[in-house]
Amino acid sequence: MFPFLLIIILSLSWRISASAQPAEEFLRCLSIRFHNSSSFAKLVYTQHNSSYSSVLKSSAQNLRFTTPSTPTPLAIVTPLLASHIQAAVYCCRKHGLQVRTRSGGHDFEGLSYTTAYKVPFVVIDLVNLRSVQVNVEKATVWVESGATIGELYYEIARKSRTLAFPAGIGHTVGVGGHLSGGGYGVLFRKYGLGADNVIDARLIDVEGRILDKKSMGEDLFWAIRGGGGGSFGIVLAWKLKLVPVPANVTVFTVSKTLEQNATKLVHQWQYIAHKLPKEIHTSIIISRVNSSENEKMTVQASFTGIFLGSTDELVPLMEEKFPQLGIVKEDCFEMSWAESNLCATQCPVGVSLETLLERSQKSVLSKTFFKAKSDFVKQLIPESAFQGLWPKFYEDEAKFASMVFVAFGGKMEEISETESPYPHRAGNLYSILYVVDWEEEENKNSKKFMSWMGRVYNYMTPYVSKSPREAYSNYRDLDIGANKINNDKESYAEARVWGIKYFKNNFDRLVHIKTKVDSQNFFRHEQSIPPLS
């Protein structure tokens, strides 16, 4: 068999030099374990393959990590079967290569398809593993990790208008990464996180075994539901509990500039939003705009929401709870729950539901050069602090900057912070997502945008969570700390710096589980859970 496989490798123009011995050995190992030469040729890409670059960039959502200086993998494996993943894991372990696992490519720091260190690695891209099997009678769904949230929502909507799943609004986000980091969206005040509604999973572990909830045990099942992607294995598929929603929900948006009393409204929203009924999800998007009245630059606060009910129910409710906002019927649109997710990503009202299937569509946080950070707010921020924040949006770097406030409360107050690795539950009024993005021609000056982000983040320090200053692991941020990839002796101490910000006291339990299931730290990256030495 071996000479025949070697011909395949040569025919694909994989001209690997003696200095790239691990790559050659990996490909040889993989070709033998695939057992099928034609599938091997179609599913494995190296840097000498003409399709390599397009495959690598196909779902890379932060263009900051697609430049010529970005470290690239020795190979990209796009498995069709679980056995292909098992083969890739086996061969990477055997030949000392690291693995990066990609589902939707939305990792904010690109860690699902690149590395901040110069280490040889292979990307396992789950793009071909994206089936969605909905069981309406049992209100469950099995979804493979390579499916996007949009594909999941579309298949649910095809089967039922009154079932949903409480995940995020970014329809190009991969299910695998989203659920493994927690996954919150417009239903989390009613039903909890996406990870809270996972009832089974199939995982390939470091030994190449396929484990379900029963065979992996409660500890590992706990860890993969919010403990961060890429630390414990590769999740093939998730079994999810679907939740009931009305046939029609109501979406609203009310935008106010500083001249229209936005500062007072933002300040008042803090008192109200987390106390609203669980059926209401509200957020505020802060950004710079030109005033429609005189084209003068100003700051705008867009108050958006989704209500599990009708306009006729929502308007009087908001008149009672938040009359200052002045919501009227004309601000509201009724639609299916699946359609409401498209509105939440600023798609026009009435856009086709098939838009959920467009994996490569540019959205609010994709296909741009950007930097993002996160915070959690536990105490009311004074009005004067907002007034001090707004001038930063007039700076040159803030042309495409935004802050998003997402109200907590509801179900999130009721779930213990140890129920899953995601700990940011009771006591949080809202979360903050900071984003600054820029265009390709400005990327050579990217440091000035990163500096702007740093200034805003530092300004907010007195007003957000402390000891630790918490962060959301799905909004990956290497600024808060990173592992030294080849320094296992100090790995726990280094990882704890960022780990308690993402996971608080759950971090030590995650370390214990990691030590038990992957003591040699095969599944690792710059912010993966380390084992104890």
For the segment 292-318, what is each residue's pLDDT rounded down to a tens digit? 666 799 999 999 999 999 999 999 999
β-sheet bridge partners, residue 251: 306, 333
CB atoms within 10 A of CB 519: 12
Averaged confidence pLDDT in the chain: 92
C-alpha–C-alpha distance, residues 449 and 398, integer Å: 8
Please write the tens of the pLDDT for every residue from 418-436.
Answer: 999 999 999 999 999 999 9
Residue 450 has pLDDT above 80, yes or no: yes
What percentage of the chain exceeds 70 in pLDDT? 94
Residue 15 has pLDDT above 60, yes or no: no
Give counts: helices (H), strands (E), the chain: 16, 18
* pTM, full prediction: 0.94
Please write the tens of the pLDDT for every residue from 55-112.
Answer: 999 999 999 999 999 999 999 999 999 999 999 999 999 999 999 999 999 999 999 9
Position 432: which residue type?
A: I
Of 13-27, 86-100, 112-126, minimum mean pLDDT range? 13-27
**The pLDDT value given to residue 110:** 95
The Cα-based distances of 97 to 13, 152, 353, 407 in angstroms read 21, 32, 41, 42
Q: Checking DSSP bridges between strand 121-125 and strand 75-77, what pairing results, if any?
A: parallel
C-alpha–C-alpha distance, residues 484 and 477, integer Å: 15
**The pLDDT value given to residue 213:** 98
**If we measure between CA atoms, which residue out of 253, 262, 213, 259 comes closest to residue 236?**
213
Active-site residue (options: 434, 475, 492, 502) = 475
Q: Walk me through the domains of the chain, giving residue ranges and CATH numbers.
A: 22-125 (3.30.43.10), 132-244 (3.30.465.10), 248-337+360-460 (3.40.462.20)
Please write the tens of the pLDDT for every residue from 134-158.
Answer: 999 999 999 999 999 999 999 999 9
> Do 74 and 52 meet the contact criterion of CB atoms below 8 Å apart?
no
CA angle 127, 111, 360 (to 5 degrees): 40
> In which band, very low, low, confident or very high, does the pLDDT at 3 lie, cut at 50, 70 and 90?
very low
475 is catalytic: yes
Total count of residues recorded for the chain: 533
What's the farthest any 2 CA atoms get from each other in the chain?
A: 77
C-alpha–C-alpha distance, residues 199 and 142, integer Å: 10
From its phi and psi, is residue 246 left (phi > 0), alpha (psi between -120 and 50) or beta?
Answer: beta
In this prediction, residues 22-26 reach a mean pLDDT of 87
**If we measure between CA atoms, which residue out of 243, 372, 250 comes closest to residue 317?**
250
C-alpha–C-alpha distance, residues 334 and 264, integer Å: 28
> In which band, very low, low, confident or very high, does the pLDDT at 364 lie, cut at 50, 70 and 90?
low
> Do 150 and 366 meet the contact criterion of CB atoms below 8 Å apart?
no
Give the alpha-carbon dihedral of 42, 44, 46, 48, to 10 degrees.
Answer: -20
Give the alpha-carbon dihedral of 10, 11, 15, 20, to 10 degrees.
Answer: -50
Please write the tens of the pLDDT for every residue from 244-264.
Answer: 999 999 999 999 999 999 999
